[in-house]
Each structure stands twice: as C-alpha cells, then as structure tokens.
C-alpha cells in the first residue's frame, strides 16, 4: 500500500552518485555532503538554538520556491536528453547520459529534502505555537495545584523538541545547499557538452 510513496529508492540512487570518479571511494563524498552539514548545524545551533517564527517563514518559503524550481529543472533535463547531438562520440555520449542520470537522481533527492524540511518546519511551528499558547494555560493550572516538578518536565520537553527540530532543519539546509551546488556543476557540464562550449573554451 505504501509502495507508491516509498522514497527510499530516491535516497539510494542519490547516494550511489556520491563517489570519487578516479578511486571509486565513497567515504570522502559522504563526509563532505553529510559531515559538513552536521558541523554547519551544530554551529548554527550554538548561534541560534531555536528557529523563531520569522526564520521559520523564511526557510519554509525558500524551500517551497526551490521545490517548484527543481521540478521545472527535471523537465528541462528531460528536454536536454533529447538534444544530445547524434554525431557525438559514443564514449562521450555514454558519459553525458551518465551525468544526466546522476543529476536527475540528485534533483529528486533535493526535492525530497525540501519536502522533509517543510514538514520539519511545520512541526516546529506547531510546537512553538503550543508552547506560546496552550502551554501557558497548562502551566498556570499546574501552578495552582503546586505540581512544580511536572511544570519543569514539560518545560524541558518543549525546549528539547524545539532545539531538536531546529537542529534537524539546519542539518537538512546544509545538505540541501551542498547538493544544490553539485547539481549546479553537473547541469553546467551538461550544457557545455551538449552545446559544444567545452572544447571552444579550452581552445581559447
């Protein structure tokens, strides 16, 4: 039943594109695309432990815009695949198709990251709103009956959840930005190759 919304294959195919072309080594690329975002998230968490309402709006808007743009880019890549010159060398054509395939996998992964990020921000907004409204009422009621321990526990849970979802949001943002740079480079290579600009640049 859930096969139609199973996105594990998208992640697997993207991960298979992360390797050094010369050594076939994957550890370096994994460290770059998943290790650096972790450091990025920790640093931002130290600077701003909880993503506030204004920042939540900015991040969700950015991801919503990029989701639409990336879907359009997928359509563009499909069009590019039909414009590969017929007189292109066979080995070169295989390489171009391979890069095109990897780019499509990575763009699909970026769209997935955007959707997950929007969900995380939504949960963070719900938690923040609950903390600011309903939570205050609960605290007041508990203060009336002197349940100070429960008040402290609930406070810690709300703060922990806000920090946790903020960290996840920072981490996903880091992964998104680095993967987006990789996709940009791949698309540029495809355009240079298909339009025949690569050789003309080298000859200058």
What are the structure tokens assigned to 92, written together? Answer: 């070169």
For 103, residues 6+ apart whose C-beta sits below 8 A from its C-beta are 77, 183, 186, 187, 190
d(CA 170, CA 124): 12
As a whole number of angstroms, the distance between CA 195 and CA 159 comes to 53
Q: What is the tally of structural domains in the chain?
A: 1
Q: How many CB atoms lie under 10 A from the CB of residue 15?
A: 16
Indicate the DSSP class of residue 34.
I
CA angle 40, 44, 46 (to 5 degrees): 120
Angstrom distance (rounded) from CA 198 to CA 63 = 32
Helices marked H in the chain = 8-15, 27-30, 36-47, 53-81, 90-132, 134-144, 148-194, 197-203
Q: How confident is the model at residue 132 (pLDDT cuts 50, 70, 90)?
A: low
pLDDT for 60-115, tens place per residue?
Answer: 999 999 999 999 988 888 877 776 766 777 777 788 888 888 999 999 999 999 99
Domain containing residue 19: 2-203
Mean pLDDT of 122-139: 72
Residue 139 has pLDDT above 90, yes or no: no
**Mean pLDDT of the region 185-195:** 80
Mean pLDDT confidence for 12-39: 81
């Amino acid at each position: 039943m859930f096969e139609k919304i199973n996105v594990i294959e998208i992640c697997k195919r993207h991960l298979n594109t992360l390797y050094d072309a010369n050594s076939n080594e994957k550890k370096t690329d994994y460290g770059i695309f998943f290790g650096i975002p972790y450091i990025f998230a920790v640093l931002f968490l130290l600077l701003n432990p909880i993503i506030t309402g204004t920042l939540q709006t900015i991040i969700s808007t950015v991801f919503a815009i990029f989701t639409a743009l990336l879907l359009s880019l997928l359509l563009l890549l499909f069009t590019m695949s039909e414009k590969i010159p017929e007189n292109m060398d066979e080995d070169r054509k295989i390489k171009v198709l391979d890069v095109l395939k990897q780019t499509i996998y990575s763009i699909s992964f970026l769209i997935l990251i955007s959707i997950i990020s929007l969900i995380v921000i939504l949960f963070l907004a719900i938690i923040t709103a609950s903390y600011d409204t309903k939570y205050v009422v609960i605290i007041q009621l508990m203060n009336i009956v002197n349940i100070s321990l429960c008040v402290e526990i609930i406070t810690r849970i709300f703060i922990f959840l806000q920090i946790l979802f903020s960290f996840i949001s920072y981490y996903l943002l880091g992964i998104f930005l680095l993967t987006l740079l990789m996709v940009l480079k791949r698309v540029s290579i495809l355009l240079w190759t298909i339009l025949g600009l690569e050789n003309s640049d080298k000859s200058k």
